A = this chain, B = another copy of it.
């Protein structure tokens, strides 16, 4: 951001733009005001990754407005956390888009996928029920241009299923592990490999799992040092994996 200010100051000094103009420019960093939403087109510049639409709690109308704003700027689109009916509506409105059912995501991807990362992101799920969260991570990771693989249902109740797939673990540069219930799998994985493990607790479980709280707490206390994300936050882990992978 400071470079921008430096440039602005230079331009003012050289008389290329007036003070008022400069002041406006300073305030007018690129976002677009849709009244209900201020779309942050600037994010791609600032963070190197474009904005993504978190679908939960937004109306179809609001999302369509945001997509239109993004499409005008030729940005690709990823909407997360939307159910099937919602996905259908978006597919109808934007025929170029795809609804990913297991992941509960909608994407419009026009730009040829360029591999931004130079390593592979591996997405692991502990059980069958953790797959929706894992898929959200998988679709997101692909959307951001990472080479991405998946390995599902290898939880600690039958740990030989993990050990039987140790080859793919060894190939990954970043590993995302989605697990519910006691949330022990990330600890095991991080005890074996030497790359960053991103742990995503899921709300899978019942009773004393308290909607994923138990898995979350277990991961935070891992004796193998993993980094932890919010419950069911597959998107966040994939986003973070991208930040690491492109370094």
Contact = CB atoms under 8 A, between A and B. Distances in A.
A8 to B, nearest CB: 8
Nearest to A245: B247
A191 B221 contact: no
Max chain B Cβ within 10 angstroms of own Cβ: one of A56, A153, A225 = A225
A9 B31 contact: no
A187 B191 contact: no
A208 interface: yes
B48 A1 contact: no
A129 B57 CA distance: 6
B227 A152 contact: no
Contacts of A40: 157-158, 161
Interface residues of A, number: 108
B216 A2 contact: no
A220 B13 CA distance: 44
How many copies of this chain are found per oligomer?
Answer: 8
Contact of A206 (B13, B207, B215, B231): B231
Interface stretch (A69-77, A83-91, A104-112, A176-184): A176-184
A136 B243 CA distance: 25
Interface in A118-133: 119, 126-129, 131
A229 B227 contact: yes
Contact of A170 (B2, B170, B226): B2
A130 to B, nearest CB: 9
Contacts of A146: none
Contact of A36 (B1, B152, B194, B226): B152
A167 B23 CA distance: 12
A143 to B, nearest CB: 14
Contacts of A155: 223
A94 interface: no
B187 A157 contact: yes
11 contacts: A5-B26, A27-B163, A36-B131, A47-B193, A56-B206, A62-B128, A156-B184, A181-B223, A188-B188, A206-B232, A207-B233
Given A205-B221, A209-B230, 14 more contacts: A2-B170, A5-B23, A10-B19, A27-B166, A29-B160, A36-B153, A38-B152, A126-B223, A184-B218, A207-B232, A208-B216, A209-B221, A214-B221, A216-B220
